[in-house]
Each structure stands twice: as C-alpha cells, then as structure tokens.
Amino acid sequence: MQADRAIPRPNYSIPHPATTMGYFLADWLANHAVVPDGDLSGEMFEPTIDHKIFLANHYIVRRDAQRGELASAFRYRRSAWVAAQKVGKSPGIAGHALIEFVGPSQFDGFAAGGEDYQCSAHRCPCGWEYEFMPGEPMGRPRATPRIQLAAVVEDQVENTWGALIPMIDFGPLANVIPKTGEEFIRHPNGNRDSLIEIVTSKADSKLGARISAAFPDETGLYTDSNKMRKFNRTLLRGLGGMGGRMVESSNPPDPAESSWLQKDTMESGLDDVYVHHFPPPKHLDFEKPAERMQIFRYNYQFSPWVDLRDIEKTAVDLMREHPGEAERFYGNRIVSGTAHWIKQTVWDLRAAEPRIEVRPRTKICLGFDGSETNDWTGFRAETLDFHQFTPRYHGGTRATIWDPRRWDGRIPRLEVDAALADILSEYDVVRAYFDPFGYRTELAEWSAKYGDVIVEFATNRLGQMWEALEAFKTTVIDPESGFTHDGDPTVSIHIRNAVESAVGGFGKYYIKKASEDQKIDLTMSSVLAHTATLDAVKSGAKNTKKTTLYTGTSTKWR
C-alpha cells in the first residue's frame, strides 16, 4: 500500500534538524539494522515517516544543554508512541532499543562546523559516516547502557524481542554485538550490567535496577488491578538513577480501565512527556464500511506492508462482540469498551472552528458541579445561542476548572468564589444552575449576594437529571442543533469518561464514571449549563436584538 496524496496527513509537529538528534539517529538505524522478517528480511531497515517523526520529537535537545548531560539534555524525559495495530511499532521499538544500546544516543554538544560521526571510532567496522551541519546537536554512544523491555507477560514483549535478534544477527550490527540470546543481549564493552533484558510482572527480579532506557510495551494495559502502574513507577525510579529515559508503545487505551498510558502519560499534563498519537479525522464513522476504509487508509498510509483487506476482515470480526476494541486497535481511537454516553469523536466534532470568543456582557448561563477532595470542580458557561465554553478568571489567566491534585489535595474554595465573582462581573449571567452537594453554605452565600440568578439543581434527583441528560445528549448528537463548544480538552475527557447506568424502566438512565479515576465533573457542569440555557430561552431571556461573538478572523452576529 503506497501513501495516497488524497489521504490527509497527520498534524505532526516536525522539529527542525538543528533542534534534534532524531534525524541523525534515524539515519544511523537505517544503516545498521535490517528488516527482521517477511519478504524483505535481511534488507536494511528504513524507519517509516511516522517513526522518524517520533524519533525527531523524542530526541529534541534543549538549547541550553551542555555536553555530558544525560536525560536533562533533552526536552522530553519520556515519550509514548500510540498507534493502530500492525503499523510497525514492535520493530520500530526494537530499532529504538538498538539506538540506545550501541548507537550515538547521548548528547555530545552542538556542531560548530566540520564535525562528523564515524562508526570506525566506536568499534563498528561498517564504514558509515555522518557529517553534522553547523548548530546541529551531535551524539555519542553511552558507555555502559542497561536497557529493559517491559510488559505484563513475556509473550507480550516477544514481538519486540523477536524483531530485535534478527535485526542484529543478519546485518552490520553482528560485527558490533557478536552474540545474542533468548533472555538477554550483552553489550560489547564486557560490563556484566550492560545488557538488554526483559522484565515482566511475573519475572520482576531485575525490576528496580539502575537502567539507562526502558521500553514498556502496551502501557494501555498497565492498570492498578494488575499492579502494572506500580511496576512502571519502579521502572521510572530506576531510570532516575542513571539519567535514563522511557519510551512507551501501545494501542490507544480503553478509558474505562484507568491505565498508565491514559492517566500517567496522555492525561498527565507534564511538559516533559511527549505523546505521539494521531487519530483519524473525527468526522469518519468507524461503523460505516466506506468511512472505516478511509480510517484504515489514514492510519496505515506509512505502512506499505499492511493489506487493508485483512485489516477490514479482522475489524469486522471483532466488531461482532467488541466494537470498542476494534476501533481502538484498528481505528487508533480512544474508545470505551463499556456503554459510553456520548462518543468523544461526536463531542469533539461540535468544537467551533474558528474558535469563538464570547464578548464581555454577553448573556450567558452557568453550570457548576463542585467537590471537596477526590473529584474535580468547575464552571461551564453557555450563550443563549448555544455556544458552550469554560470561563476564565484572574484577569483571564486561569480556567475555572480545579483538579484537587494541583491544589494540595483540596478544592480551593476561595478561588472558586473569586472565579464566580469574575464571571458575574464579566458577563450578563441570566441563570445559573448549581449542584448543592458539598456547597450548601457557599450556595446560600452566593444566593444572598447575587440574587435569584443562582438556582439550586440537585443532580441526585434522578428524574429531573435524566431529562437534563437526555436533552443535552440530543442537542449534541443532532447535527442540525447549532450547538458548539470551545474544544476544552479537559471537558472532552470528562465527556468521554461518562457511561450510562439504567435507572428504573422506560429507558431512563443516569451517568456515572467508567471507573473511580475517570472523572465526569465537567460533564455535569456542562449539562447544568445547557439545562439552564434551555430554561432561560423558554422564559424569554433571548428576547434581545443581537448577541455579538468575536471569532479569530471575523465578528459574527448571531
């Protein structure tokens, strides 16, 4: 399968060659490893475009990096390659492990001009040379690397290990690494601790060792229930002692399982964690055969060995009983395996493009769902023509969303109070529906201060809440409704986390978390904001001449 120009390209962040060692290392890999199996077995291994861009981002060097620094020389301490099944992650990760094992993976200063890398100076007789351009970051091999390939069970990491051995044995690296094995691979330096080895949840005696690189496989399966999140934290500690870095690989996670990949990587919010995940266009429906094939063409456009007819047959087979699993594995999307309430792709499609900025004094309604310690707290706002957004406060510098983990374990109630004051000062709030649970004192104070605009709306009253949920869901999924939102990524995650739970008969339901760690508080705030808006419009609040909304490129009168 060749890349088709009609297929949209992933929205990659492509680093300049002067900022990264990734292109240099991809070139090194292409001249040292061989294709491990298939019709092209034994030919030189050429990283795919997707793999090269992943390497380029993982090896971005800080501009203030100094020669001799290890992990601290790079922008990212750990990275995750998240992609569909069969795109080539296993041989790609095997190649990446070789880069860290015997390749020039460590920062060695910036080139002034005229410098080059010669394999002959590093125990490799292949004759390969690379000339650095001025300003390009240079690399050198690590003197005593120790690398661990990690998985839940050994069979899981076999795809990577099974690619690693022939990539060495049948190519130029056989002259560098003369002996490979079934359990470990020794480094040519002779140091007994310099090796590549496998660690799993069952064979964990080597876990906790000081390591230079870790490659945990399928971290979308690392959960608290199988103790693999703790396992991966131990890997991280081992890396910290050696200035090492972590590279994960996985299919997209099931959001109902609270995996390491989801909670600790993709949703971590850490600026030194790179996530390489480029799902297909949101408007394509995996359940429709023609659109599903477009999804496959997008996902596998850089994987010419994949026969899309085989992928289609396997996906259809899985969809009979496990549609979410099929869409995760082959659609490269984060989809729950349980009964979702609103699909994340449906929600994300309602994001306004270009982004809408709501002008001060615009009439809006508010929704609020609060908590104390474990859950999140937040305001959502909606204009009377059904554009929903997260307001900001403190001079526009802070979103009105509070994660207790970032506030010493407790929701900062004074911040919530200040945010509400800012919102009421900035906009013409005509109605606000607030869940009173845990905030009855504040609700009483706010009602006394701001008047009858503040309305109590108990989310535990199942009858009225079902009506509110169903009205909101109907509006979101109806393409003719005109509803839009600001694309807030936290709200998108909270919408995705909500699953239906039947209540009584007649198709009534409530929404709950897919798991304890899957927060849905901003979903509740969004539903309350929309319910308040519907009620305000019914009561005549929209009887005004015009509402002005500023966009990034123009002013829209709505």
pLDDT in tens, 337-378: 766 899 888 999 999 999 999 999 999 999 999 887 789 999
Q: Which of 326, 343, 277 is nearest to 477 (CA)?
A: 343
- Chain segment 31-83, per-residue pLDDT in tens: 999 999 999 999 999 999 999 999 999 999 999 999 999 999 999 999 999 99
pLDDT score, position 336? 77
pLDDT score, position 1? 44
Q: Does residue 554 carry a pLDDT above 60?
A: no
Q: Does residue 544 carry a pLDDT above 70?
A: no
**Considering the chain, what percentage of its residues have pLDDT values greater than 70?**
95
pLDDT range class, residue 445, cuts 50, 70, 90: very high
Burial classification of residue 36, based on how many CB atoms lie within 10 Å of its CB (0-12 exposed, 13-18 middle, 19 or more buried): buried
- Chain segment 492-504, per-residue pLDDT in tens: 999 999 988 887 6
DSSP string, 95-163: HHHHHHHHS--EEEEE--SS-EEEGGGGT-TT--EEEPPTTPEEEE--SS--EEEEESSHHHHHHHHHH
pLDDT score, position 21? 99
Q: What's the rounded Cα separation, in Å, for the pair 95 and 167?
A: 8
pLDDT score, position 463? 86
pLDDT score, position 273? 98
What b/e sequence results for 358-397 when a residue is b if at least 16 CB atoms lie within 10 Å of its CB, and e otherwise?
beeebbbbbbbbbbeeebbbbbbbbbbbbbbbbbbbeeee
**Considering the chain, what percentage of its residues have pLDDT values greater than 90?**
80
**What Å distances lie between residue 42 and 34, 39, 127, 184, CA to CA?**
5, 9, 19, 22
17-277: CATH homologous superfamily?
A: P-loop containing nucleotide triphosphate hydrolases (3.40.50.300)
pLDDT range class, residue 505, cuts 50, 70, 90: low
Place of tokens 């009173």: 436
pLDDT score, position 547? 47
The token duo for 418 is: 């200040």
Q: Is 231 helix (H, G, I), strand (E, B) or coil?
A: helix
Q: HSE on the CB side for 234, CA within 13 Å?
A: 17
What CATH number was assigned to the domain covering residues 347-557? 3.30.420.240
Q: Which residues contact 111 (CB under 8 A, 6 or more apart)?
A: 132, 133, 134, 135, 136, 137, 138
Q: Which of 85, 101, 100, 13 is nearest to 56 (CA)?
A: 13
Mean pLDDT of 87-99: 97
pLDDT score, position 401? 97
Mean pLDDT of 108-114: 96
Q: What's the rounded Cα separation, in Å, for the pair 267 and 259?
A: 11
Q: Which residues contact 207 (CB under 8 A, 6 or more apart)?
A: 199, 231, 234, 235, 238
Query: Tell me, what amino acid is at 365?
Result: C
Residue spans per domain, the chain = 17-277, 289-322, 347-557
Q: What's the rounded Cα separation, in Å, for the pair 554 and 57?
A: 35
pLDDT range class, residue 556, cuts 50, 70, 90: very low
Q: Are 241 and 499 in contact (CB under 8 A)?
A: no
pLDDT score, position 456? 95
Average model confidence (pLDDT) across the chain:
92
Q: Is 277 helix (H, G, I), strand (E, B) or coil?
A: strand
The token duo for 558 is: 């709505």
Q: Which long-range contacts (CB under 8 A, 24 or more apart) does 553-556 make?
A: 553/354, 556/356
Q: What's the rounded Cα separation, in Å, for the pair 29 and 383?
A: 54
Q: Which of 270, 225, 277, 269 is nearest to 251 (CA)?
A: 277
Q: Which of 387, 388, 391, 365 is nearest to 378 (CA)?
A: 391
Q: pTM to 2 decimals?
A: 0.79
